Amino acid sequence: MKLENTTNTPSLPGRSYDDACGAAHALNLIGERWAILVMRELMLGPLRFSDLRAALPGISANVLTQRLEGLGGIGALVKRKLPPPAAAQVYELTPWGYEAEPIMQALGRWATRSPLHDPTLPLSAVSLMLSFRTMFDPARADGFEARIGFRLGGEDYMVRIAKGRIEAAREAIENADVVFTGTPPAVAGAVYGGVKLAALEADGALEVDGYRTIANRFITLFPLPPKISAEG
């Protein structure tokens, strides 16, 4: 038998820092291993337990259960039961949970400058979409409007760019100017790795349908910050 939190009072998971600093408290809340990555995967909408496992190769069912309990306990997510007949239960961030996105953006922006960063590692579809939000450069998108669809491993996503703003969502592809079909790393290769679309298509790694000009413009909109040189 396991200890239940019989009260509904939210409570801290695990060890905690005895520190009034907001950053320290954030680490009390979501500083445990995997917690932030679980939230990342939920950032584009609710997912089921097995979706999370699939998106986070390396997390064990055991730990995922604990993290979901912890994040639920602090009020960052809720477990919802979908209405029948699709009576699956899903985990969904609360409005406050969604507000954690700037944390991930700050982490991502900082870490991509590290020489240790290996962009060839696996990448989830959600990570790719969030990276677009993070790295989007409004100046480079001046006067550019586009609707880009992505088919990534059975899920569809839409990115809309207009008036120097970007939106990214997991949703059906509709009225897209371009549709990319392939894997997140392949798309990342084009956007961040400087790989030509033609090369990816020749490899069969990526399929690009629609306006080629728009596709080629799109992949220039997300400049990476420079790697650190000597001493930062």
Please give the residue ranges that form the binding site for a second copy (CB under 8 A): 10-12, 15, 17-29, 31, 33, 36-37, 40, 57-58, 74-75, 78, 94-100, 102-124, 127, 130-131, 134, 185, 188, 228, 231-232
Give the per-residue contact string, 79-98, with DNA (x = CB under 7 A; - = no).
Answer: x--------xxx--------
Query: What is the H or E stretch that residue 72 is in?
Result: helix 61-73
Task: State yes or no: residue 114 binds DNA (CB under 7 A).
Answer: no
Smallest distance, a second copy to C-beta of residue 60, A: 13
- Measured from the CB atom, the residue of 74 and 161 that comes closer to DNA is 74
Q: What, of DNA, a second copy, none, does residue 78 touch, CB below 5 to 8 Å by kind?
A: a second copy
CA atoms of 164 and 80, how far apart (whole Å): 35
Q: How far apart are the first and last CA of the chain?
A: 51
- Measured from the CB atom, the residue of 162 and 194 that comes closer to a second copy is 194
Length of the chain in residues, anyone? Answer: 232
CA atoms of 115 and 93, how far apart (whole Å): 33
- Measured from the CB atom, the residue of 109 and 212 that comes closer to a second copy is 109
Closest CA to 30 of 14, 52, 9, 6: 14
Q: What, of a second copy, DNA, none, does residue 100 touch, CB below 5 to 8 Å by kind?
A: a second copy
Smallest distance, DNA to C-beta of residue 28, A: 11
Q: Which residue has the tokens 């396991």?
A: 2
Give the per-residue contact string, 27-66, with DNA (x = CB under 7 A; - = no).
Answer: -----xxx-------------xxxx------xxxxxx-xx
Burial code of 22-35, b = ≥16 C-beta within 10 A, e = fewer?
A: eeeeeebbbbbebb
Tokens linked to 7: 């009260």
- Measured from the CB atom, the residue of 66 and 112 that comes closer to DNA is 66
Residues in Cβ contact with 185 at an 8 Å cutoff, skipping those fewer than 6 apart: 120, 122, 123
- Measured from the CB atom, the residue of 31 and 185 that comes closer to DNA is 31
Looking only at Cα atoms, what is the longest distance across the chain? 61
Q: Which residues bind DNA (CB under 7 A)?
A: 1-2, 14-15, 32-34, 48-51, 58-63, 65-66, 68-69, 79, 88-90
